[in-house]
Amino acid sequence: MENTFTTLNPFSERSIANHVYLSNDDIDFIIDKSHLRFDKWKNQDFNFKKKILKNLSNDLLINIDEYSRKITNEMGKPLKESRGEIKKCSQLCNFYFEHSENFLKPYEVKLEKQVAKISYSPLGIILGIMPWNFPFWQVFRFAIPTLMSGNTVIIKHSPNTFGCGDLISYIFNKVGYPKYCYNNIKIHHTQVERIIASDKVQGVSLTGSEKAGAAVGSLAGKHIKKTLFELGGSDPFIIYDDANIELAVSDAISAKFLNSGQSCISPKRFFIHEKIYKIFIKMFIAKLKKLNIGNPMEVETDIGPLAKKEFVDKIRYQVKKSIDMGAEIIFKKDYDSKKGFFIEPIILRHNNLNSPIFNEEVFGPVIPIFIFNDKDNIIELVNSTAYGLGASLWTSCNLKKNNFEQNINTGLLFINGMTKSDPRIPFGGIKKSGYGRELSKEGIKEFVNIKTIVSKNKEF
């Protein structure tokens, strides 16, 4: 096992910092300390927790320039998008500041001669295995509701954003979280089982690849630990001929190129009705040509580099294999980069359901177009993937809307809008996109013991 990891700037390709992995003794120490902190934190009153949360929300906005530059420096996201990520974290804090206490209030159910009281109790230490693509947002959407429900957390960040992990840990300590409530650890993936195996760790939440989910799921099953997985996606973007094409194209551009296409809910399969295909392509290319590719630190940049060189190589392979299987290049936006992990946005037309651009997750600025007509069973085509995270449907027909609502196999369906996460609504998928829900009132109840106490009426 390697002892260190060096983070790189995806634009300059220069090293940022060397990070040292924790020893097994260090891991055990943190688990012990976090467990001791849990014994106090689980009984902490909501007013105290809410005060810290408000401090956190304010701190994010006060220091948005510093925090957003850290994100962009480490994983290459355009700076304006990094600022949006920090703002969204602040909004999430405000949401749970306002609603978490009410979400976790016990309630009663009257029985024949008894009454049942249902309450929500924290479980203990919850491990969060977090990705690199939204290095602040993903941590916040896991950690905030998990802490507010009375648990303590241990966060394993993706190695290429270890610096963001350090900064988030500093922020949590600065705004008033008691020591060992929030624990940031730098470990090798081979050390994950040590944490999951501990009797003091009660659950694990992972956002990452299908491969990572399978590995962690196996470990969690072996040690009987509760899990929540948000894994890959191959979200469809379906546009019928009765849709508002102009709005659909605008949202398609925004959704596809957010974070250079490195998002689990980015549209990865475009199903376009044959009657509007030509106008859609014309309008889409016109907007794509106006997007600026380049240095993510510059405010005018719309598309930055991918986070790692290996991601560029994988996408090039997926595109080449799909072309070999019959995909046609419709448009390619050239970008002559002498440095940086860039890949040119490319539009491919293809109807081979066995190609990588259809049945694999392509995590970047690749736009696969599949043309359909009224004779096609479009829902069957949309569902014919291993994933089931989100979908975006564009139509003015209520019959089509109802048909998709009832039959699409996804956790999210946005009608006449792009798929996105929002603190107020549940987020999560089915099939190989994972299970469980984050955000909203559902998310705060993922890592609690729903305790039922039944007694005679007069005893409550």
Strands 328-332 and 267-273: unpaired
Nearest CA-CA partner of 152 in 120, 133, 125, 130: 125
Measure Cα distances from 68 to 137, 175, 297 in Å.
Answer: 11, 18, 10
Distance, first Cα to last Cα, the chain:
56
Provide the token pair at 75. Answer: 């994983």
155 and 44 Cβ atoms separated by less than 8 Å: no
How many residues in total does the chain contain? 460
Told to judge if 181 belongs to the known catalytic residues of this protein, a careful annotator would answer no
From the list 89, 93, 164, 264, the catalytic residue is 264
Q: What is the rounded distance in angstroms from the CA atom of residue 168 to the CA atom of residue 173?
A: 9
Can you tell me the distance from the alpha carbon of 133 to that of 95, in angstroms, rounded to the nearest whole number? 23
Within 13 Å of residue 131, how many CA atoms lie on the same side as its CB? 21
Question: Would residue 230 show up in a list of annotated catalytic residues for this protein?
Answer: yes
Based on the number of CB atoms within 10 Å of its own CB, is 117 exposed (0-12), middle (13-18) or buried (19 or more)? middle
Tell me how far apart the alpha carbons of residues 389 and 434 are, in angstroms, rounded to a whole number: 8
Q: Of the residues 81, 230, 360, 361, which is catalytic?
A: 230
Q: What is the DSSP string of 27-56?
A: HHHHHHHHHHHHHHHTT--HHHHHHHHHHH
The catalytic residue positions are 230, 264
